[in-house]
Structure formats: structure tokens, C-alpha cells
Amino acid sequence: MAALVGRRARDVLKRAHFATVLRRHRHKKKWAATEPKFPATQLALQNFDMTYSVQFGDLWPSIRVSLLSEQKYGALVNNFAAWDHVSGELEQLNARDFVSEAISHGEPEPESGQTTTPPQASGAYSPNLRCFTFARGDVSRFPPARLGSLGVMDYYLMDAASLLPVLALGLQPGDTVLDLCAAPGGKTLALLQTGCCRNLAANDLSTSRTGRLQRVLRSYVPQDIRDRNRVRVTSWDGRKWGELEGDTYDRVLVDVPCTTDRHSLREEENNIFQRSRKKERQMLPMLQVQLLAAGLLATKPGGHVVYSTCSLSHLQNEYVVQGTIDFLANQYSIKVQVENLTHFRKLFMDTFSFFPSCQVGELVIPNLLANFGPMYFCKMCRLT
């Protein structure tokens, strides 16, 4: 009986709806047929609510609202443009270079009669990087980058937290550097800005994305500098790198594909939470272990690797690092040591919010006053 009433009510409603629409205007809404029943962004949020509420406890509601709000950018100054002029213009906007501020605040006062080794000389962070951000709570936006007088763009807009893995890599002049998953190229550009690369291999599996990387390099780095830094762009499977060029590099950046948490909550296109990509998503930690292992095998003994993701997931962050270190010890008898980044975190805690309880590495968590990240990074030294 109840079912009959329900059906009748639906019929009446249907007729009432059609009665108000002229026949020639009656059509099925196109989007109703094409729009997915469960948008991937929604599935991502459900997934994060389940896993991150356990992982982050009381911190999750504030991280969640920040992830769903507009993110903040940083302006990485192009040292190959007239950088003092660009810096002046950014200062006029009330932005500040968070890198030089952090470093000048963090430098220890030398005691009288004593000389201290500056942290930069000990490889604590890569030199010559300038990145402007607006102060905590200031949600101003940077105007788009412009072509400077030297024929290259004046700055590159990026999530300022993306600079931390490059800073942590601690480049030294004359280093041979590999950027294993490089496209679209924000971090490759930052590596070149340090002026330290004797040669730089920038690789990405995707040829369309290495095309974007090439465009970024052409727009920001003059040809003679690209030649001097011997920049080589390739589109190989990074997992094979250890076999191709083992024990070769001083510094390796392994910025792996991940669930790109912020992107997954905003964009349907290319969203890893689409149902059709479930297997790919489940296989991510495995791919990440393989890429990190390849990066470590490509490093010279004594060289350094930074592993990074833009995900909050422990499974893609700390577990991958620990799993890879165990794998290399068991399969190759290679010893890898995780480096302590506490000093590094302290340097940058005025600009970013860090998760206080990482077992290995550091994690920038989104915060409404400093809405950068997520960005996980862990620095390792290959000992043997």
C-alpha cells in the first residue's frame, strides 16, 4: 500500500513538473547523463575523512577545512632575471622572502673569539633560493609572472612548501643532480636557481609532462645557463634508473606521484580517486618504494636523497621511506640513514605549520593562516 502511494505521488510530481514546461523545451538535462554518480572529489573526501581522522585525530577538522579552502602561493624569484629589481617589486606588495628571513633568524650568534660553521656550508640547506610569501593570515594573491628585461620570466608561482624538499637537499657547488620525477618542473627550476648543479638530469615518465617541463625551462633559464648546467631532460621509467646509472649522483630528488590530496579534493579531471583508477591508487605505495629505491641506487655512497610527496598519508610517506630502507638493506646490503631535520623545521616554522609527530621526515600540514602543503619530505644519506 505504502509503495503504491509512493509511486502515485511520484507520477503526480512528474506530471506537475512537465505541465509547467512547454513541450518544445522538454529535454533530459545533458549533465544528468554524463555527470558521475559519485564525483571523484567526493570519494577523495570520504577516503580522507576515514583515514586522516584516525591519523591526525583532533587536528583533522582544521586540516580538512584548510585543504578545502584556497591555498597560498609563493613567488620563487628567478635569479636569471634582474632579481634585485624583482625582489624590490615583491617587497612593495608586502611580501617577504621567507628563505632569507628564516636563515638570518636561525644563524647562531658567534661567541666572542670563536668562529662557527654557517649551516649553509655544512649542507643544511641549498643556497641562493629566494621565495616570497605573504605573512600568516594575509590571503593576498601575487599578480601573474611577467617577462623581465633579460628575456626570461621574473618569478615562478608555486606552493611555497614545495621549495622545502629542494632546500633540504642541501646542494653544494659542483654537485651532479638527478630529479627523478621532475615534471612540470617547479622543483627542477629551483634546483637550477641554486647555481650548484655541475649537471642536472631531469626525468619524468610522461612525455606530455616533460614537454611542459621543457617549456618552463625555456621560459625561465637562458640557453647558456642550461648548457653550463648540462641540463638533460629524459622520459624514462624512473624505476629503472638504478640499473641505468647506479652510484652516480651526489644529490637525488624523488618527488613521487601520490594522491595529490589538495588536487584530489578540487578537480574531477585526472583525479586518482576516479573509480576506474582504484587499482592504480592502491598500487601507489609500491610504485613509490620502487622509485625511491631507484633514486637511492643512483646515488653515490655518501650522497643524499630527498623523498617527497604532496600527500598527508603515512602509507605514502613514512611507511614508504622505512619500507625502502629495509628493502635496500635486505636485497642489496646497502645502508641508508635518515637525517634529522629538526633544525631545518625550526628554521621554517614561522612560515609553515609542521605536523609535530612524524617518525621520520617532516610534514607541512595545511593551516588556514598558512595554507601551504601538504608536503612531506625526508632526507636520507646513502652510507654504503
- What residues make contact with ligand SAM under the rule CB under 6 A? 162, 181-187, 203-206, 209, 237-239, 255, 257
- Consult the annotation and say whether 36 binds a ligand: no
CB of 25 to ligand SAM, least distance (A): 46
C-beta of 186 vs 366, nearer to ligand SAM? 186
- Consult the annotation and say whether 184 binds a ligand: yes
CB of 239 to ligand SAM, least distance (A): 5
CA distance 156 to 383: 35
- Per-residue CA distances from 109 to 87, 100, 112, 312 (Å): 27, 16, 9, 36
C-beta of 87 vs 308, nearer to ligand SAM? 308
Instruction: Map grid coordinates 576506474 to a residue.
Output: 276
Active site residue 196: no
CB of 286 to ligand SAM, least distance (A): 11
- Consult the annotation and say whether 183 binds a ligand: yes
- Consult the annotation and say whether 255 binds a ligand: yes
C-beta of 185 vs 285, nearer to ligand SAM? 185
CB of 187 to ligand SAM, least distance (A): 4
C-beta of 205 vs 338, nearer to ligand SAM? 205
Kindly give the pairing relationship between strand 131-133 and strand 74-77.
antiparallel
Q: Which of 131, 197, 258, 310 is catalytic?
A: 310
242, three cell numbers: 638504478
**Neighbour-count burial for 132-165, b at 16+ CB within 10 Å, e otherwise:** bbbeeeeeeebeebeebeeebbbbbbbbbbbbbb
Going by C-alpha positions, the residue among 212, 95, 80 that lies closest to residue 147 is: 80
- Consult the annotation and say whether 187 binds a ligand: yes
> Which residues form the catalytic set?
310
Binding residues for S-adenosyl-L-methionine: 181-187, 204, 237, 255
Binding residues: 181-187, 204, 237, 255
